[in-house]
Structure 1
Amino acid sequence: MTEILERVKKDNIKFVQLQFTDILGVVKSLTIPVHHLESSLKDGTWFDGSSIEGFTRIQESDQFLKPDVSTYAVMPWLTNTARFICDVFTADGDPFEGDPRYILKRAVKEANDMGFELYTGPELEFFLFKKENGKLMPMPHDTAGYFDLTTDEGIKIREQMYDALSAFGINVEALHHEVAVGQHEIDFKYDTAVKTADHAVTLRFVLKAIANMHGLHATFIPKPIAGINGSGMHVHQSLFKGSQNMFFDESKEYMLSDIAMGYIAGILKHIRAIAAVSSPTVNSYKRLVPGYEAPVYLSWARRNRSALIRIPRYSKGNTKATRCEVRCPDPSCNPYLAFALMLKAGLDGIKNKLTPPAPVEEDLFEFTAADLKERNIATMPGSLGEALEEMEKDPLIKETLGDHTYSKYLEAKRAEWDSYRLYVSQWELDRYMEVF
């Protein structure tokens, strides 16, 4: 504790943000004056959990936050302000079962007990939209495409985003314009699951803050504009035992071990149910359609980017890079919960020695319904409502999330789905008003 307090003093910090996420992945923050930090580190800081989505009831609302000192960072756009990501505890001092970070830690512990450490590398795509007089306009801020240079108006903004992310200890590896107009991607280094989930939620609020400084809005909505590519959050993942990548086996096809094959099979087995969390909004299913590079079909392959799970090509000697890339999650999800579910699904495949179907290297978007049926290739859910039905049928989801979060999440998402399906949109009025 002494070391972190000295660092805070050296950084001339006056205010500290204690951050955590609700079950939907929205960052919440409680600010305390720096002279209360020592007691917060020692005993925690109390707050009312009954007002947080998916947390406690009013009669059991007292909870407290314990800062994780490894997540300390000075917030560069605020004056003399730092943040810590916190773990949430009950009034009795137990980890709160509805804390998404705790849910991921619990899944990671199961992997640790089996001798594995999960490493992940999420790639979050996002859009930058213009504002006019402070009001958000549904208009991309540039006309550039994939890796474009001359029409890419986001280069300087991404550089400032890089500087801000670096201040949070996030090791950025690549920044570039994505396929759609106004769309971007910033990738950071592969690391342990809890750390990269922390980085993912941090990246979202950091990018929004920097965009706002330029009069723009950064959004992680999966499909903000009809007719162009949406934003995904491809998640690279592998299991290590010490320094050894347990996914690598030079004697096997694709250099994938039996452990890797079981992991892939487990994800394919459970992914339709996981979708309710990894693709958690009504809008998510407007991205998961054929023709826009988003994976729709339950398959895996090495080169085929239309497959749901892709195996990046092996580079000789680089055994640590052997991994699978799950391409269906999107950046509106709660990374803690999404990582926990994919890990548990993969472990289920390993424990039960599941075998994935044969890889599909053809362009799946060219397949007819008959082709899909002949190859026994299923599809992702077509709507949030369908995904919730799948979630309710798969016991692994409830086991991973725990009774509390499982019921709270379903309750929140059913309400969202009902609100959407009962809403009369402008499209319906334009389409039908004068016809019928």
Structure 2
Amino acid sequence: MAIVTNNTVENATSVAAIEEVIKQKNVELLHLQFVDIEGILKHVTVTSEQLESVVEGKIMFDGSSIKGFSPINKSDLYLQPDLSSFAVLPWSVEEGYSEARFICSVKNPDGTDFEGDPRNVLKRTVERAADKGYAINVGPELEFFLFETDETGRPTQETQDFAGYFEPSPHDNGEKVRLEIYRALKAMGFTIEASHHEVARGQHEINFKYDDILTTADNAVTYKWVVKTVAKKFGLHATFMPKPIAGENGNGMHTNISLYDLNKKENAFYDTGDKNGLSATAYSFIAGLLSNVKHFVAVTNPLVNSYKRLVPGYEAPCYIAWSASNRSALIRIPAMRGPGTRVEIRCPDPSANPYLAFAIIASAGLDGVEKELEAPDSFDEDIFSMTAEELFLKEIDNLPTSLEFAVGEFEEGEIGRKTFGDHVFDEYVEAKKEELDSFRTTVHGWELEKYHTKF
């Protein structure tokens, strides 16, 4: 990542460069950031005078307090910062004072990677790809809603505007909010490619440039944090909840992914001799996604609420098919070819833990490459307009329709444990079952409205 000093962007990947920025910006506090198993951002804050201890990975925290991490008898864990993630927080800059952050990997007391850290899970997937001669590039598209807040600061169900897709001001009241988000992200080293109002009222999207898969996961976590922080300064609540409004399009996280051949120094998905411009590697990667998607959708769509987005009629993919152009398919191939050739999987939503979601998507695709799986024929018809009978006759299968079904598929499949390892796999399944049980035993507003006076 990059940081901004004196209105210029400089890479700060060495301790000396970081020390210089700390001095110039009078950085007093350092936030050491990591995520729990759900992808919720956490941080331990120390003073900048402790930079040496920070860099050496000597800052300890209680892992038993973090969801999905350690039991209480093995709770001591350490934070090892990624120096390239250093950034001054633009909203913290005041006269003579500022704060900065590092994104960290979690270590055991003996210096080895802690197996329960989602970032370490993704690092293992990066290593797996490298062993096969590939680097992985990812570009996600995270949508969010802006809601008004009440006098106590709690979010309401009133959206911040009633604009539609690509509408400008005066209908799009979110332009000023998006501008401030853009400025904050740019100051933290992001390259922003597009910003616009989305389909639903109060819904927005800001796209940042693709990068290697680990940097992109770091960026996705940072992006969600920045969006929420800036929105709050406007008295608004930003949410990445998949389906916050019934009857409206939900929030997606379309994920564009490609493999880069480290030996040939080229995009491994591109082939000029193919009718679709795709290589055998790309077809096998697509096949790996299609054959594994039922077994990983509990990770890319991790909430009870996620499956209220994955229903017909709201542009969210429900059916397991791929196409070279068709946006109604689960997987599509954007038109760009050459170095920009990529596969887009459209089911993920932004409530997913980016480290785990990107890891399992990449792992599923690599599974197809390693096994040299053959992709089925591309499906170019409008799937959304098909009847159940037509879908059956064309043998187009459905994604899981509930978190309960998805977690069952996740447990039965091989890709989850293969990608996550025993610790994260078991903790993730336990967390999702607890969530399902909580939902099952809660009396919801719909039930009261439907049954309270009727019976």
Q: TM-score range by the shorter chain?
A: over 0.9
Contact persistence 1:19–1:29 (CA under 8 A): yes
Alpha-carbon distance in 2 for matches of 1:132, 1:430: 24
Report what 2:126 is aligned to.
108
Alpha-carbon distance in 2 for matches of 1:87, 1:353: 33
Alpha-carbon distance in 1 for matches of 2:144, 2:240: 5
The counterpart of 2:282, out of the listed 230, 254, 260, is 260
Report what 2:106 is aligned to.
88
User: 2:54 corresponds to which letter in structure 1?
Assistant: S
Report what 1:364 is aligned to.
383
Sequence identity percentage: 50
Alpha-carbon distance in 2 for matches of 1:43, 1:55: 18
Displacement after TM superposition at 1:39 (Å): 1.3
Contact persistence 1:23–1:99 (CA under 8 A): yes
Displacement after TM superposition at 1:44 (Å): 2.5
SS in 2 for 1:255: coil
Q: TM-score, normalization: structure 2?
A: 0.94
The counterpart of 2:49, out of the listed 22, 35, 40, is 35
The counterpart of 1:5, out of the listed 19, 44, 58, is 19
Displacement after TM superposition at 1:169 (Å): 0.9
Displacement after TM superposition at 1:28 (Å): 0.2
User: 2:76 corresponds to which letter in structure 1?
Assistant: D
Determine if the alignment matches structure 1 residue 68 to structure 2 residue 90. no
User: 1:352 corresponds to which letter in structure 2?
Assistant: K
Alpha-carbon distance in 2 for matches of 1:336, 1:397: 13
Contact persistence 1:142–1:153 (CA under 8 A): yes
Report what 1:99 is aligned to.
117
Determine if the alignment matches structure 1 residue 297 to structure 2 residue 319. yes
SS in 2 for 1:176: strand
SS in 1 for 2:45: strand
Alpha-carbon distance in 2 for matches of 1:225, 1:136: 13
User: 1:391 corresponds to which letter in structure 2?
Assistant: F
Report what 2:214 is aligned to.
194
Displacement after TM superposition at 1:156 (Å): 1.2
Displacement after TM superposition at 1:4 (Å): 2.0
Alignment of 1:28-427 (within 5 A): 28-79=42-93, 80-133=98-151, 134-150=153-169, 151-242=171-262, 243-314=265-336, 318-427=337-446
CA RMSD of superposed structures (Å): 1.0
Contact persistence 1:307–1:364 (CA under 8 A): yes
Deviates more, 1:142-151 or 1:362-371: 362-371
Displacement after TM superposition at 1:100 (Å): 0.7
Contact persistence 1:44–1:67 (CA under 8 A): no
Alpha-carbon distance in 2 for matches of 1:7, 1:337: 32
User: 1:223 corresponds to which letter in structure 2?
Assistant: K
User: 1:272 corresponds to which letter in structure 2?
Assistant: K
CA deviation string 1:317-370 (max 9, x = no partner): x50111111000000000110111011110110111111211111111122222
CA deviation string 1:73-121 (max 9, x = no partner): 0011124100000010011111001111110010011101101010000
Displacement after TM superposition at 1:269 (Å): 0.7
Q: TM-score, normalization: structure 1?
A: 0.98
User: 2:127 corresponds to which letter in structure 1?
Assistant: K
Contact persistence 1:300–1:308 (CA under 8 A): yes
SS in 2 for 1:127: strand
Alpha-carbon distance in 2 for matches of 1:216, 1:37: 35
SS in 1 for 2:92: coil
User: 1:424 corresponds to which letter in structure 2?
Assistant: V
SS in 2 for 1:434: coil
Displacement after TM superposition at 1:22 (Å): 0.5
SS in 2 for 1:430: helix
Matched pairs, number: 433
SS in 2 for 1:221: coil
User: 1:41 corresponds to which letter in structure 2?
Assistant: V
Contact persistence 1:5–1:38 (CA under 8 A): no
Alpha-carbon distance in 1 for matches of 2:91, 2:278: 44
SS in 1 for 2:50: helix
User: 2:239 corresponds to which letter in structure 1?
Assistant: T
Contact persistence 2:57–2:81 (CA under 8 A): no
Alpha-carbon distance in 1 for matches of 2:179, 2:220: 18
Alpha-carbon distance in 2 for matches of 1:382, 1:188: 30
SS in 2 for 1:173: strand
Contact persistence 1:299–1:359 (CA under 8 A): yes
User: 1:98 corresponds to which letter in structure 2?
Assistant: G
Query: Is there any run of 5+ residues in structure 1 with no aligned partner, and where?
Result: none
CA deviation string 1:267-288 (max 9, x = no partner): 1111111111100000000000
